[in-house]
Structure 1
Amino acid sequence: MKPTLLILAAGMASRYGSMKQIDGFGPNGETIIDYSIYDAIKAGFGKVVFIIKEEFVENFRSIFDPKLKGKIEVDYVFQNFDLRQFGIEEEIYREKPWGTAHAILSGRTVVKEPFCVINADDFYGYDAFKKMVDFLNDEANDSNFSIIGYQIGKTLSDFGAVSRGVCKVDEAGNLSEIIERTKVYKDGEAIVFEEDDKKYPLDFETPVSMNFWGFTPAVFKITEELFKEFAMANKDKPKAEFFIPLIGENLVKTNSATFKVVPTANQWFGVTYKEDKPFVQASIDQLVKDGAYPEKLWN
């Protein structure tokens, strides 16, 4: 059974999202998410599942069903605020969604095979998808998950600071800790992060998480239990969010599971700042010229 690609897209609005998400970056107006799906199909994924808001399902179907028909199975699941599905009867008022780890629970009814989770609007590169498929097919089990580790130097913007989850890796190549660094940037030839108004250096190849995780369906039950605890503990904090790294942190600290940090030297692309767009476009153009992608992605 081929692995499934679970795409976090509930934050995307009508007509495929906010401006950076509907922006064309490829030669024929291809968006970043188009390249992720193309790479996933090429790598050997058998199904793509979009996590979206229910009111946008027709928009998504009109965009993706025609171009993906016959290429990969497609499904849609909805992230919603109803906590009764988790056995929580108490009403907890929220304006914002509960976060990325809550979002993946939306897939528990349709995902029955090993799967990976990605952001909808990040360019990850083929190497990461191929390595993830290989892990999910050959190594994944209910106590051995994975995360793609990007070199921090290949994830930065020239136009300002970014937040990155810096991965600590043990001798076996497994995740021992993720530390969120909220202000990482290029400082001349160096890479630094700031904390308490002080600068600290980071090596170019330091592995960081770009929210590319590999799991088996066993993670759904684990996540549901953790989410119920989180929801009750944060019922008076309407901005608190339940993020995927919290799952990893809990499982690593309790020795319940390992997370293999799978390294990639791929360049990560994202539009953190509007000034990043020309760089992303030029990078994709170069990949097309190099033959990594066809000029017209979908025929």
Structure 2
Amino acid sequence: MKPTLVIMAAGMGSRYGGLKQVDPMGPNGEIVLDYSVYDAIRAGFGKVVFIIRRDIEKPFKEHIGDKLAEKIPVEYVFQSLEDLPDPYAVPEGREKPWGTGQAVLCCREVVSEPFAVINADDYYGRQGFELLAEELGGMDPESGDSCMVGFRIRNTLSPNGPVTRGVCEVEDGFLRRVVETFKIEEDEQGRVHSTEEGQVRELSGDEIASMNMWGFTPQIFTVLEDKFKTFLGEHGQEMKSEYLIPTVVDEMIREGLTRVKVMRSEDEWFGVTYPEDKPTVQKEIAQLVDEGRYPSPLWS
């Protein structure tokens, strides 16, 4: 059974012109999402599930989904503020989505095989998809096993300003916890450091960062549903609280509900954290094309 790729794209808006998720990054107008699906197909994934919002369904399919459906089976699920378990309701005035944990939970009716989860607007590189496809392909769908692909922090930095990363603590190849680490940057001498509350912490640059590239079995849906109810009971009246995958995974590890195998990609992660990052990402992708890593145009 081939694994499924779940892509969190509910953050995309209906006005495509200026949104980074659909900003052309490849030499023929390809967006970052194109390269993720291309790499996933090469790695052996059998289906793509897009998590989107109802209000962008038509433009999303026209601009993105229909094109990719010619290459791999595609399904859609919809994330909405109102998709809450009884007896909870959306507090008056809340507009912010409930977060990545709720997004993945939306897939429970269409995913019955081991699956990967990624962000729509991040470039992960081929190796991460290969690692996930191999690991997920050998997973028992009835198990509570999990996995993740991490990247060297040095390979995830922006030359245009500091970033926040989830730094992974790993023991015997398995994740112990993810520590949110702030204002990470590289100085002119190539030294990596973070700054929090005025305190500077030196990093080696080889620490593993989580970039939201996870692997799960369908057993995660039961846990996500139970913990979402707990989250809503504690934070459901807050305007900006978010139910996040790393938080859920951290709780599952502490409660003995899963073991998360950590695999490291040596590829460079690309993302548009700052507007100034766009030319850098375009240049990096152009170089990958020149090296023969991708055809041009991609979907020729």
Partner of 1:252 in structure 2? 253
What is the alpha-carbon distance in structure 2 between the residues aligned to residue 236 and residue 143 of structure 1? 31
CA 1:271–1:151: 2 relative to 1, 3 Å: same
Structure 1 residue 205 displacement after superposition = 1.3
For the Cα contact (< 8 Å) 1:11–1:17, is it kept in 2?
no
For the Cα contact (< 8 Å) 1:67–1:298, is it kept in 2?
no
Partner of 2:87 in structure 1? 88
Partner of 1:225 in structure 2? 226
Structure 1 residue 277 displacement after superposition = 1.1
What is the alpha-carbon distance in structure 1 between the residues aligned to residue 162 and residue 52 of structure 2? 29
For the Cα contact (< 8 Å) 1:21–1:121, is it kept in 2?
yes
Partner of 2:136 in structure 1? 136
Partner of 2:279 in structure 1? 278
What is the alpha-carbon distance in structure 1 between the residues aligned to residue 137 and residue 279 of structure 2? 37
Could you report, residue by residue, the CA deviation over 1:267-289 in whole angstroms, capped at 9, with x for unpaired residues?
Answer: 00001011111111111011001
Consecutive unaligned residues of structure 2, counting only runs of 5 or more, are: none
Partner of 1:174 in structure 2? 174
What is the alpha-carbon distance in structure 2 between the residues aligned to residue 136 and residue 156 of structure 1? 28
Determine helix, strand or coil for the equivalent of 1:149. Answer: strand
Determine helix, strand or coil for the equivalent of 1:92. Answer: coil
TM-score, length of structure 1 as denominator length: 0.95
Determine helix, strand or coil for the equivalent of 1:192. Answer: strand
Structure 1 residue 18 displacement after superposition = 4.8
TM-score, length of structure 2 as denominator length: 0.95
For the Cα contact (< 8 Å) 2:88–2:232, is it kept in 1?
no
Partner of 2:153 in structure 1? 152
What is the alpha-carbon distance in structure 2 between the residues aligned to residue 210 and residue 122 of structure 1? 9
* Equivalent residues in 2 for 1:69-80, closer than 5 Å: 69-80=69-80
Could you report, residue by residue, the CA deviation over 1:170-192 in whole angstroms, capped at 9, with x for unpaired residues?
Answer: 02x00001000121111232111
Supply the AA of the counterpart residue of 2:175.
L
Supply the AA of the counterpart residue of 2:74.
V
Partner of 2:165 in structure 1? 164
Could you report, residue by residue, the CA deviation over 1:134-188 in whole angstroms, capped at 9, with x for unpaired residues?
Answer: 01012465222011110000000011110100000002x0000100012111123
Looking at secondary structure, tell me which structure has more helix per residue. 1
Structure 1 residue 62 displacement after superposition = 1.2
Partner of 2:108 in structure 1? 108
Matched, 1:63 2:63: yes
Consecutive unaligned residues of structure 1, counting only runs of 5 or more, are: none
For the Cα contact (< 8 Å) 2:100–2:244, is it kept in 1?
yes
What is the alpha-carbon distance in structure 2 between the residues aligned to residue 182 and residue 140 of structure 1? 36
Supply the AA of the counterpart residue of 1:88.
P
- Percent identical across equivalent pairs? 45
CA 1:115–1:297: 2 relative to 1, 3 Å: same
Aligned length: 297
Could you report, residue by residue, the CA deviation over 1:72-113 in whole angstroms, capped at 9, with x for unpaired residues?
Answer: 1001110012245x2334453421001011111111111111
Supply the AA of the counterpart residue of 2:230.
E
Supply the AA of the counterpart residue of 1:213.
W
For the Cα contact (< 8 Å) 1:47–1:73, is it kept in 2?
yes
